[in-house]
Structure 1
Amino acid sequence: MKEIIKKVKHIELKTKRLVDEVFSGEYHSIFKGQGVEFSEVRPYQYGDDVRRIDWRVTAKHGKPYVKLFKETRQLNILLVFDGSPSTLFSAKANKREIAGEIASILTFSALKNSDKTGLVLFSDGVDKYIPLEKGKKHSLNIIQHILTFESRAEETDLTDTIRKVLHYLNRRSIIFIISDFYTDGYQKELKMLSKKHDVIGIRLIEPLEKRLDEMGVIPIKDSESDKIKFINSKKAKKDYRESFQKKDEQIKAVFRNAKADLLNIDIADNYFHQLLKFFKMRERRFR
C-alpha cells in the first residue's frame, strides 16, 4: 500500500503542474456549463435584449429593469476505465500508469473548475462505481483505484457497463471511456449514451500492435485467455496487421456513427501533447 500511495503522490505532482499551467484553461474552454440560471435584475441599459425585461419589477419602479442570468458552470465528469488484461497489455510502457496520469489530469482539471468527478471500473461487467463528488481526497482516491484495479476476467463487456452508466447518471455529464474497445455489440448502447451525454473514448495503443512486420519470431499471448502462439511468416504478420487495421476502422466507425469523440493515444509518444492537441481541435470545432 505504501508503494501505491507513493505512486499516487508522484502522479499528482507530475500532472498538477500541467493542469495548473496548461490544461485547466483548455478544460474550462472546452467544457461549458450545462445551462443558465437567474442571477439578479438591474436597470435597463441601451442595447439590452427587450425580451429580458422583468415587467413585474418594471411596473413596481416605474422604469424598465432586465433580468440577468449566469451560466451554471458545475459539470459532472465520469471516468469509465477498462481494467481488462487486453487494455493494459504493453511491451515497454506502463499503460496503467499512463491511464492513471490521464485520469489525474482530467480529475484535477475538474477539481480546479469546481466540477464533480466519478469513476466506473469494469471488465466483464462493472466491478466498482465511485459516485460523483468533489475534493482532492476524492480525486486521489480515483487515481488509486485505477492503479490498483485487478481483473481476472477473460472477456470485456462494454455493453452492460454502458447500460449501468446510463442508470447511474440523472443529468447530462461528460464521460471519458478509457479502453482498447476490443469487444463487440456495444454500438447501440454507445449511441444511446452519446444522445444523453458528451462521450469521449480514449484508446491507449501499444505501438507493437501496429509494427509486427518489422520483427522476427514473435510470441503472442492472448491477454484474456493466456494462450500463446508464435508469429513468424510474412503472411501471418501481414494478416495480423490487417486484422489490427480492420478493427481500428471498425472502432472509429462505431464512434462516428454514435456521434461520439474518439482519441487514439500512441503510448510511445507524449500522451499529454496528444491529449492537448485533441482538446484544442475540439475547442475549435465547437466555437
Structure 2
Amino acid sequence: MHTALKALQLKARHQVYTLLSGHNLSKLHGEGYDFSELREYQVGDDIRKINWTISAKLGRPYIKELHANRELSVVVAAFMDASLYFGSGNAKQKKLTEVATILGYAAQQNNDLFTGVHYTQKQSHATPPTKQLYHIEQFSQTLYSASVLNTTLDHNAAIQDLFKRLHKPSLLFILSDFLEEMDLSLLSQKHEVIAVILRDREEEVPKKLGEVTLSHPQDGKKMDTYFGQRSIERYLTKLKENDERLGEHFAHYDIRSVKIFTDDEAVSKLVGLFV
C-alpha cells in the first residue's frame, strides 16, 4: 500500500476513534428511516413529513410514514473526474479520499452498514454493504489511486445508476467539488442526502497569474492567456452563480451540505453534521 495512503488512513481512524467518539451517525436523521407508506395528510400531522413531489403530482398533500430503524445504511458516493485535479499534489482528490475514509470508519465504529460507490468516466466501483475495515480501506485505496486527469464524468448517468443500485433507504453522502450542475432530486426522494463539497481555496480566491499557459484538465487542451483582475472577476461571477443555484437546489430538496477545503481538518467540519 502507498505510504501516504496508509498515513491518511491511520490519521482518519485516529480522528474517528477520538474526535468523533460519541457523535453517532444516526443523529443525522430524524424519527425513523425505513420507508413504510405514503398517506394523505391529516390535520395535526407534522408538515415536515409532507412529500412535496408526490403532493404536487396528486394535487393534495401526502406524507411519508417511516419505520423506526434498527440499522443505518451509510453510503458514500464519490463523483470523480478531472475537475478534482487541482492544487499542489492533487490535493482535492486526496481530501476526497480522506473524507470518504473518515465516514467509512465512523459507520464501522457505529456498527452500521457501509457502502462505498465510486464513479469515474471509465468505470464505476462499489463495495458490498459491509462492516469490515478491509472493504472500507479497499474503497479508500480505490479513490486515492483513481486516474482522473483528462476524464469527464457524466453526472446524470452516474446519478441514475446510483439510484438503481441503492434499494434500501440510506444516509447518502455525495462527494464532489460541485463545480458542475448536479440534480440530486431523484436521490433525495428515497434517501437522506448530504452533499460534501470539496474545494481548494485558490478556486474561490484565485491569484493574478499574468501571462500564462492554461491546460484544461478534462481534455488536455492548452491556451495562452493573460489571467489578471478582469479574468478573476469574470471567473468569480460564474462561480457565485453556480454556487447560488447549488444552494437553491439543496434548500428545495432538503439536502444538507458542508464545504471542506483541502487545507481544512475534515473531521472538524464533519462533526458539525453529527451534533
Q: Which has the larger Rg? A: 1
Identify if the C-alpha distance between structure 1 residues 102 and 252 changes in structure 2 by more than 3 Å, giving closer, same or farther: same
For 1:99 and 1:244, locate their aligned partners in 2 and report how far apart those are by CA, in whole Å: 20
When normalised by structure 2's length, the TM-score is 0.78
Q: Deviations over 1:192-230 (max 9, x none)?
A: 211100111111111111222555445432211212333
1:247 aligns with 2:242: yes
5+ residue gaps, structure 1, are: 36-69
Q: Which residue of 2 aligns with 1:209?
A: 203
Note the aligned Cα RMSD (angstroms): 2.5
Amino acid aligned to 2:100? A
1:60-79 equivalences under 5 Å are 72-79=69-76
Identify if the C-alpha distance between structure 1 residues 139 and 116 changes in structure 2 by more than 3 Å, giving closer, same or farther: same
Amino acid aligned to 2:255? A
For 2:246 and 2:260, locate their aligned partners in 1 and report how far apart those are by CA, in whole Å: 14
Answer yes or no: is the 8 Å Cα contact 2:195–2:258 preserved in 1.
yes
Per the TM alignment, residue 147 of structure 1 is displaced from its structure 2 partner at its CA by 0.9
Q: Deviations over 1:74-113 (max 9, x none)?
A: 1111111122010232246622222221111111110011
Q: Which residue of 2 aligns with 1:196?
A: 190
Q: Which residue of 1 aligns with 2:142?
A: 145
1:1-287 equivalences under 5 Å are 2=1, 4=2, 6-28=3-25, 30-31=27-28, 34=33, 72-91=69-88, 94-124=91-121, 127-151=124-148, 154-184=151-181, 186-187=182-183, 190-229=184-223, 230-277=225-272, 279-280=273-274, 283=275
Per the TM alignment, residue 255 of structure 1 is displaced from its structure 2 partner at its CA by 2.0
5+ residue gaps, structure 2, are: 35-66
For 1:87 and 1:93, locate their aligned partners in 2 and report how far apart those are by CA, in whole Å: 8
Q: Deviations over 1:242-269 (max 9, x none)?
A: 1222222222222222221221112233
Question: What count of residue pairs does the alignment treat as equivalent?
Answer: 241
Amino acid aligned to 2:267? F
Which one has the bigger helix percentage?
Answer: 1
When normalised by structure 1's length, the TM-score is 0.75
For 1:171 and 1:264, locate their aligned partners in 2 and report how far apart those are by CA, in whole Å: 27
For 2:8 and 2:228, locate their aligned partners in 1 and report how far apart those are by CA, in whole Å: 41
Identity of aligned residues (%): 22
Amino acid aligned to 1:225? D
3-state SS in 2 of match to 1:203: strand
- The range that moved more, 149-158 or 164-173, is 149-158
Amino acid aligned to 1:105? I
For 2:237 and 2:192, locate their aligned partners in 1 and report how far apart those are by CA, in whole Å: 31
